Amino acid sequence: MRRFVAAAVAAILVLLAAGFAGLWFSPSVQDAMLRRVVEANMAFNDAVLDPDALHVVLCGTGSPMPDPDRAQACHLVYAGEHVFAVDAGLGGWNRIAAFGLPVGNLSGVLLTHFHSDHISGLPDIALNSWASGRREALAVYGPPGVETVMAGFDLAYSLDDGYRIAHHGPDFFSEQGANYRPIIVDVPDRDTGVTLFDADGVTITAFLVNHEPVEPAYGFRIDYRGRSVVFSGDTKQDFNVATFGKGADVIIHDAMATHMVDLLGEGLAERGDRRSKVMYDIQDYHATPVEAAEVANEAGAKLLVFSHVVPRLPNAIAERVYLRGVSDVRKRGFMIGYDGLYLRLPVGSEKIETIDLR
Ligand SMILES: [Zn+2]
Ligand SMILES: [Zn+2]
């Protein structure tokens, strides 16, 4: 028996060695393996195109503070034949590509405001949706000022666009597809929601939030066949999110743990680092996790997802500190968002499926 086991182990080792030798020395074996890897990576995550559900994917849950685990603000919403990006911060595209999410039929980008961490990844999303087949200029909805920001991107990338059209041909990269089409959304006052899109069962409403001195700053609500998701954008605690988020299935809310940021500020101050001032300043225009929970309760939302997570949460203890006090105001129906969180909301159901795309 022992001899048999030894022989079997030896045979397995020989096979492993032969396999490794093939991989190491044989170009045809290497190519075959690469082909399989490419195939796996190129497969689109077509589940998000199912028209019988509202699909929300978090492609960036971070902030301007460097965080290796989180890209800057980025979300994708798939609703029937439409795909919208909500904010487009740095690194968002890398996540979208890594999760194999289709963007060729991107209907538009919704910008909550123009802080860098919400717009700095826009050129990457624009370029890649252009390469994926978008022929028309990319519609970008945002507060007044969106025309200035888009004119800036158009100018900054005009040479790049020219190189790409010249290299790949206008049949592949249409001239129009290189451009942005800014659409100014004017919300007159706090009590008025402005419908900026209403077609094919998808309704998108913009409303005011409080991110002073950034004015105006918007939240968005997206409704599709009875299911709904609300984005607070960047805001301090503002019950306007609850007013316009009434009965929403999901609220994705920015949340900064000020009790943790305080400690970071103290640490920087002790080292004489001038950025300690930033740690104090930023605390007056974001909601805390507890405040976001109060807003979600007022809205009667089924699920609250913390996003725009500040500070970095490198482990379970940090997450616990981040959530301190939340369960005192909201017993269930909340979670810390992460890059790769996919929420699937089937039409005609109350269900919210959470799927990890990482
Ligand atoms: Zn931000
Ligand atoms: Zn902001």
| Nearest CA-CA partner of 304 in 255, 269, 259 | 255
Same domain as 8, residue 129: no
Given a contact cutoff of 8 angstroms between Cβ atoms, the answer to whether 345 and 227 are in contact is yes
* pLDDT tier for residue 1 given thresholds of 50, 70 and 90: low
pTM: 0.91
Q: How much is the pLDDT for 43?
A: 66
How many whole angstroms from 233 Cα to the centroid of ligand 1?
A: 8
Distance 117 CA to ligand 2 centre (A): 7
Number of neighbouring beta carbons within 10 Å of residue 65: 18
Q: Lowest mean pLDDT of 1-5, 10-14, 250-254, 268-272, name the range.
A: 1-5
Give the tens place of pLDDT for each residue, 12-44. Answer: 888 788 777 877 888 888 888 888 877 776 667
Together in a domain, 7 and 133: no
Distance 115 CA to ligand 2 centre (A): 5
**Per-residue pLDDT reduced to its tens digit, 48-91:** 999 999 999 999 999 999 899 999 999 999 999 999 999 999 99
Using the mean position of ligand 2's atoms as its centre, give its distance from the Cα of residue 319 in Å: 22
Ligand 2 centre distance from Cα of residue 211 (Å): 7
Q: Which ligand is nearest to the CA of 64?
A: 1
- Both tokens of 300, joined, read 């009667």
One domain for residues 10 and 159: no
Q: Is 281 a catalytic residue?
A: no
231/254 same-domain check: yes
Q: Among the options 67, 87, 117, 161, which is catalytic?
A: 117
Confidence of residue 45 (pLDDT cuts 50, 70, 90): confident
Q: How confident is the model at residue 310 (pLDDT cuts 50, 70, 90)?
A: very high
Instruction: Give the pLDDT of residue 12.
Output: 81
Based on the domain organization, do 35 and 99 belong to the same domain?
no
Q: What integer best gives the mean pLDDT of the chain?
A: 94
Same domain, 311 and 205: yes
pLDDT of res. 6: 80
How much is the pLDDT for 115? 98
Same domain, yes or no, for 326 and 198?
A: yes
pLDDT in tens, 200-233: 999 999 999 999 999 999 999 999 999 999 999 9
pLDDT, tens digit, 9 for 90 and up, residues 101-111: 998 789 999 99
Do 86 and 200 lie in a common domain? Answer: yes
Number of domains observed in the structure of the chain: 2
- 290 and 146, same domain (yes or no): yes
Supply the CATH number for residue 260's domain: 3.60.15.10
Per-residue pLDDT, averaged over 143-154, amounts to 98
The Cα–Cα gap between 75 and 191 comes to 26
Going 279 to 284 to 140 to 243, the CA torsion angle's sign is: positive
Ligand number, closest to the Cα atom of 87: 1
Q: Which domain holds residue 78?
A: 47-356
Pairing of β 194-199 and β 202-211: antiparallel
Q: Is the pLDDT of residue 242 over 80?
A: yes
Q: Note the ligand closest to the C-alpha atom of 65.
A: 1
| Residue 174: pLDDT over 70 | yes
Note whether 157 and 220 are same-domain residues.
Answer: yes
Name the residue with higher pLDDT: 21 or 316.
316
